[in-house]
A and B are shown apart, each in its own frame.
Chain A
Amino acid sequence: MSSPKIGFYGFTGCAGDQLMVLNCEDQLVDLFGATDIRSFAMAKSDNDDGELDVAFVEGSISTEGQLEHLKDIRKRSKVVVAIGTCACWGGPQAMKLEEGGYEERYKKVYGNAKIEVSKAFEAQPVDAFVKVEMKIPGCPIDKTEFLSAVTKVVAGRHPYFYSFPVCTECKWKENPCILTEGKFCAGPLTKAGCGAVCPSHNIPCVGCWGPTDDLNVSAEYNLLEEKGYDADEIIKKIKKFGGAVVAKMVKELSAKKNTKEGGK
């Protein structure tokens, strides 16, 4: 059996996930040995644009040029894997999704400057445009989780990702719940996988792994409101890494609250 052909690609993001792949120093030789890496601009110079078994895509999509490139990757890849929170959910650059006002924000930053590169639009996760077989979230991705998934993907097996929120890992680490102390913690909305790094150092979770599989946005919102946080702050913070998924839920929640208040 020939080694599976794989490629790594980066779009709008900090490139931290590709860097994390290269940071798997102890396993890097094994990774290059077990696979045929056809394209990895960050790691090597001779890259080609042929057929792939698996394409790993980092970053959100925010320009026409990127979109075209993404569609091309999809067309020549059997499996597309989104790596990192930006590719999976949209990342912080997608925190205004479902709010509109993109044109004004664009103008505020770039004024009337003539931009020669590809036309930009509101950043969105990869699966807003093409089919994605798998998501490996994280900001950046976790080495262990990435290697576990890659190993299975190249062996044609199904990787496993925790379906539950980071709170479960946080309890495994024997931390008291910081939400009960009244701190703003996004843990219950956030997918596990990081090992509850921040709360284990008494720093509340900001949600950088993106939304968990079964989140209750309205319960988290009500809880934080009860703890004294104001609506704008809650929405801003839970949308920071929540991407398209949380943006949609927040929009529905706001609509529900408005009808309720309007009906009073």
Chain B
Amino acid sequence: MILKMKKEDLSAFLESAKEWGELWGPTRKGERVAFEKVETLSQMDLKATRTIIPPKKFLYPPRFTMFDYDDKGYVERTGDVPNRILFGIHPCDVHGIQIMDELFLEEYKDPYYAERREKTLLLGHSCIPDDKCMCFATDTEFIAEGFDLFFTDLKMFYLVWVGSSRGHDIVRMRPELFSRDIGKDDIMNYTEYRNWKSSQFTSKADFTGMPDIFELGYNSPVWEELAEKCLSCGQCTMACPTCNCYNVVDEVDLGTVEGTRDRFWDSCMFREYSLVAGGHNFRDSRADRLKLWYTHKLQAYIGEFGKPACVGCGRCVATCPVDINVVSVSKALKEQEVGK
């Protein structure tokens, strides 16, 4: 279902939606763009292209406690997650969450992810691409499902996609703000918007032939060259909307047998990640670790799920200090040369 809403009514709508839960949206402080808890629409920066960290932080935080334990057993730390409305999520990030859902909710359901997912409402918003955006190359430029509501900004109006019954419930809090009266102009405006968005990309990303290029380039010397540049800082992994690996560690309270079991974001880019008991390391060299990350994103995932594990958000492009990212790596593999 697609509805129409006046731009000036958004503020009132979000105010009412807060009855469902906390309102979170993209905020800007200098170059730092992050989803933060807000009270009003005016605190958000809806023109910001991307947050530093994707919304995965809501579904599984960088570090959190899974449960408390003592010598008798353990008590899960579930139940204390608040209801949250995330407003202003872009299509790439909704695609990212869909990939996270596949990993955390399907075969082995993760209770911590599941609870946060259940208590998070995704209200998407259309975006303005910049020079790092490459969703056109990963087919994630638009989104048809996975959100609760999606707002497409057509200057005077929003077209509002209702993507779930929960989304519909929120709409019904203020039914008078929405109309079903979609006319010829609206359709033309929407077509124009899509064409405009598609014309905005300047990134040179090109993932055609990617699974094959990775297979052909598996033993390429390009990986060694990339490894010489790589700082192993882990920023790419933390910023990637589909990276989901974590480590688990127990904390103990001093002088007791009580403590917590914590989980935090980990990265296959780190040497410790592939270190096993006895001291053997499956990917001791930096080149092997880089190869794993990129092969996973642009080859292996395609084989398993039929699409890349890259949603084209451009965060790896924005954050890597030495220009190692999905664009430069796929280009290097194709051209058999690491660019400057």
Binding site for B on A (CB under 8 A): 27, 30-31, 33-34, 147-148, 150-152, 155, 157, 160, 163-165, 167-168, 170-172, 174-177, 179-181, 187-188, 202, 213-216, 218-220, 222-223
Contacts and interface: CB of A to CB of B under 8 A. Distances in A.
A171 B270 contact: no
Interface string B101-140: 0000000000000000000000000000000000000000
A177 B321 contact: yes
A47 to B, nearest CB: 22
Given A164-B234, A172-B62, A213-B272, A219 B229 contact: yes
B254 A216 contact: no
Contacts of A172: 53, 62-63, 238, 265
Nearest to B34: A174
Contacts of A157: 252
Contacts of B230: 216, 219
23 contacts: A27-B254, A31-B254, A147-B254, A163-B270, A163-B271, A164-B233, A164-B270, A164-B272, A167-B235, A168-B267, A170-B235, A172-B265, A174-B34, A177-B235, A188-B231, A188-B233, A213-B271, A215-B232, A216-B230, A219-B229, A220-B231, A222-B229, A223-B321
B328 to A, nearest CB: 14
A150 B255 CA distance: 10
Contacts of B177: none
Contacts of B322: 219, 223
Given A171-B238, A174-B51, 16 more contacts: A31-B254, A164-B233, A164-B270, A164-B272, A172-B265, A174-B32, A175-B52, A176-B31, A176-B318, A188-B231, A213-B271, A214-B270, A216-B231, A216-B286, A219-B228, A219-B230
> On chain B, which size bracket covers the interface?
35 or more
A162 to B, nearest CB: 8
A160 B234 CA distance: 18
Contact of B233 (A31, A168, A202): A168
B254 A171 contact: no
B251 interface: yes
Nearest to B269: A164
B75 interface: no
B80 interface: no
